[in-house]
Homo-oligomer: A and B are copies of this chain.
Amino acid sequence: MSELRHRRGEGDGNDKAETAGESDHVDVDSEEEKVLEEKYVDELAKNLPQGTDKTPEILDSALSGLSSRWRNWVIRGIFTWLMIGAFCLLIYGGPLALMITVLCVQVKCFEEIINIGYAVYRVHGLPWFRSLSWYFLLTSNYFFYGENLIDYFGVVINRTDYLHFLVTYHRFISFSLYCVGFVWFVLSLVKRYYMRQFSLFAWTHVALLIVVTQSYLIIQNIFEGLIWFIVPVSMIICNDVMAYVFGFFFGKTPLIKLSPKKTWEGFIGGGISTVIFGLVLSYLMSQYPYLVCPIEYSDSLGRMTMECEPSTLFRLHEYTPPQFLQPLMKIFGREKITMYPFMIHSLALSIFSSVIGPFGGFFASGFKRAFKIKDFGDVIPGHGGIMDRFDCQFLMATFVNVYITSFIRTATPQKLLQQVYNLKPEQQLQLFYALKESLENRNILNMVP
């Protein structure tokens, strides 16, 4: 059904040359060990799931006239546009559609990582392990999604009696679930397999760390306003695509040994494109309340709402550019720039996505080489697995989340009020009087609000 291609076979000549060049400066292992280990790793690779370049048959026959380099380019292009289209559709579908997608992508990524782990440690026959990994995925999702729901809908959930229980004891329930998994793991240990079982246990936890916590942060970003999700994701996509395009046409100088196909031309061209793209996209998107408003529960409407008076970030503002930009401004015959403050933040995001972002990709490609696999999977023709497309998104999501907490969400009387409303009425009153007293003592209460 699918044609297996091992990276090992392709790069063998290159491999040997490099190993020979390096062997003199790092050499601590005994000869015997080295031989044993190499045999072991090679043996491993035979059993690993290799990504395939399977192409739908219709496309395959339509493109049969092209050389393999161009065929790959066309297929990759088609599926890039298909994915971008799907992404737009999802945005139109609203936050719920996006959140479900994030969940699906997360599960698929977890599956891909875990499958590699199974293959590396060959525990297909070992009882319980597959169930255990999925159980841990379930538990951690229950914990993280729960935390998010409580954060954003605590007030609503608390009104329903039986849900109130789930909110109050959320961490306890999650931890108990985790403990069950932990005990289950210890009981499932079988003497012959100790080392592999522990390795896989660690593998599962690292996968959870990468996949589940990141998607938890992504959901938080979505709640801050769709723009905080769409802009960063698009930036990474743009950077990926443009680095590929620039590299394809102008690429000459290799960037990093890890990914021989990456070039400085692609890196720089992609970076500049991403910054420009980010500014334009932010300008366009800042105009729509649907994209800009945080998702909040409105007490008066009794439902979720994405309507708001846009915050100052998304209101046009006149800036006087710094001195060194003045000559440039004269060309356009203007002294000031009118733009959305969000565009400045978008600059920070685009710089991160084009400077640090690619390292997510390098990391993933190093990982693939370490375990001698070509792609994480073969879900998307021309692109490989889901993980192959989302490797940089994870780092970016964390950055956006941290960026929001550090630079954007400094003022949060609303958030705090939500928490106050979660208290019992008499506690709210107690807090009210304490606050009143403190404000009076500090002579703030006489100020005009």
**Interface of A toward B, CB cutoff 8 Å:** 15, 18-19, 22-23, 26-29, 32-33, 36-37, 39-41, 43, 122, 124-127, 168-172, 174-175, 179, 182-183, 185-187, 189-195, 197-198, 202-203, 205-206, 209, 256-258, 356, 359, 362-363, 366-367, 369-371, 395, 398-399, 402-403, 405-407, 410-413, 416-417, 419-421, 423-436, 438-439, 442, 444-445, 447, 449
Contact = CB atoms under 8 A, between A and B. Distances in A.
Nearest to A26: B125
A257 to B, nearest CB: 7
Contacts of A168: 406, 410
Nearest to A187: B256
- Choose among A15, A191, A366, A406 the residue with the greatest number of B CB atoms under 10 Å from its CB: A191
B416 A429 contact: no
A427 B412 CA distance: 8
A171 to B, nearest CB: 5
Nearest to A189: B366
A177 to B, nearest CB: 11
Contacts of A190: 22, 26
Given A175-B398, A258-B189, A366 B169 contact: no
Contact of A191 (B18, B33, B171, B195): B18
Given A203-B202, A429-B449, A363 B186 contact: yes
Given A195-B370, A411-B427, A447-B426, A432 B421 contact: no
Contacts of A195: 41, 370-371
Nearest to A178: B398
A416 B436 CA distance: 14
Contact of A19 (B192, B432, B439): B192
A363 B442 CA distance: 55
A268 B208 CA distance: 35
Given A411-B427, A447-B425, A126 B417 contact: no
Contacts of A359: 182-183, 186
A419 B410 CA distance: 12
A313 B193 CA distance: 47
18 contacts: A19-B192, A22-B190, A22-B192, A33-B122, A169-B407, A172-B402, A172-B406, A175-B402, A183-B359, A189-B257, A197-B370, A202-B202, A411-B423, A420-B435, A429-B445, A429-B449, A432-B435, A433-B449
A66 to B, nearest CB: 33
